[in-house]
Amino acid sequence: METRVLPFTDDAIAEAARLVLAGEAVAVPTETVYGLAADATNAQAVARIYEAKGRPSFNPLIVHVIDMAAAQHIATFDDEAGTLAERYWPGPLTLVLPLRDQSGIASIVTAGLPTIGLRVPAHRAMQALLQATDRPLAAPSANASGSISPTRAEHVLKSLGGRIPLIIDGGSTERGLESTIVAATGGQLRLLRPGPIEIAAQQGPFERIEAPGQLATHYAPSKPVRLDATSAERDEYLIGFGPIAGDTSLSPSGNLVEAASRLFDLLHEAEASGKSRIAVAPVPEDGLGIAINDRLRRAAA
Ligand code: TXA
Ligand code: MG
């Protein structure tokens, strides 16, 4: 894939919006770092973010919205959350909030969690893209997995060149540091990631403390999960893949982007089924399959 780099202009935003609405992920500056943005209501588009980054695991992504009204369509705010939003938005503050039922956000965005990280960005390029697409945009930092966050278009090109269709070049980002993340999901505010905005909140657990199963930021089904299943036992709901049909399938054609996009929905579906156990067909351990298998192993642990 050829990666175009266009300076931030109205035409460039129109092109980025066209690509986003077609299900692509494009790089765009925010006031913190460059983000790799995709339509948060389109699961396959969000799966492409993971594919482009080569991320070996799924974690919940931050969703960018144009304003408070758009945020309130997606999540619920208690008084404290409302006060923080009023004070710091638009700006480098992400609030983790209870997700509304009819939010329209794809489950791969929240990695199956009932909460969502939202922010209203201050950068005109990201604001213009939000306006032009009229969609909430999931956007992690626009770098390949394992490399540092990009603060210039050249960093993005070096890291993701050939893997994404477009980078909007808005020069260096102002903050150069990812947004502060505060959870406002009931009870005390909790600081999940320190960042440009300092907020009085209970500390942590920070995102880097990632002992498996320890972090409340990982969704796990309540039923036992068996992996590499080629057929279902009597009490199992089988999630198929490729030639293994199952009760439902991650992707009948064996497509990993489709499988990633359906993973959390199908785990929830299996959890809600009448069967007491969940079985999952083997998924190849390459490309997006690495992240899918990582998540399945956590679900089975
Ligand atoms: O500055 C930023 O925030 C940049 C720019 C591009 O906006 N974005 C960014 O996004 O850093 P991302 O997706 O890489 O941040 C993801 C982190 C997760 O690792 C997790 O710590 C937190 O956001 N997060 C998101 N949703 C969450 C949730 N529902 N519960 C807990 N933590 C969540
Ligand atoms: Mg990052």
- What is the 3 state secondary structure string of 37-100? EEECCCHHHHHHHHHHHCCCCCCCCEEECCCHHHHHHHECCCHHHHHHHHHHCCCCEEEEEEEC
CA of 92 to the centre of ligand 2 (A): 14
Residue 148: its pLDDT value, please? 85
Q: Record the tokens describing residue 263, joined without a space.
A: 């993973």
- Tell me the pLDDT tens digit for each residue of 50-103: 999 998 889 999 999 999 999 999 999 999 999 999 999 999 999 999 999 999
Q: Is the peptide bond before 196 cis (omega within 30 degrees of 0)?
A: no
Average pLDDT in the chain: 93
**Probe residue for ligand 1, chosen from 181, 191, 218, 219 as the CB with the greatest number of ligand atoms within 8 Å:** 181
Res. 181 pLDDT band, cuts 50 70 90:
very high
Q: What is the Cα–Cα distance from 247 to 173, expressed in whole angstroms?
A: 48
Name the residue with higher pLDDT: 208 or 163: 163
CB atoms within 10 A of CB 124: 15
Q: In the chain, pLDDT over 90 holds for what percent of residues?
A: 82
Handedness of CA 83, 99, 31, 193 (dihedral sign): positive
Q: Which residues line ligand 1 (CB under 6 A)?
A: 30, 32-33, 35, 59-62, 92, 94, 96, 110, 113, 115-117, 139-141, 178-179, 181, 192-193, 207, 217
Q: Is the pLDDT of residue 215 over 80?
A: no
Report the SS3 class of residue 118.
strand
Q: Where are the alpha helices (DSSP H) in the chain?
A: 10-21, 43-53, 68-74, 79-88, 124-133, 153-160, 256-272, 288-300
- Tell me the pLDDT tens digit for each residue of 157-180: 999 999 999 999 999 999 888 999
Q: Is the pLDDT of residue 208 over 50?
A: no
- Tell me the pLDDT tens digit for each residue of 89-130: 999 999 999 999 999 999 999 999 999 999 999 999 999 999
Starting from the edge strand earliest in sequence, which strands make up the sheet with 248-249, in order?
A: 225-226, 277-280, 236-240, 248-249
Which ligand is nearest the CA of 40, by number? 1
Q: What is the Cα–Cα distance from 38 to 28, expressed in whole angstroms?
A: 10
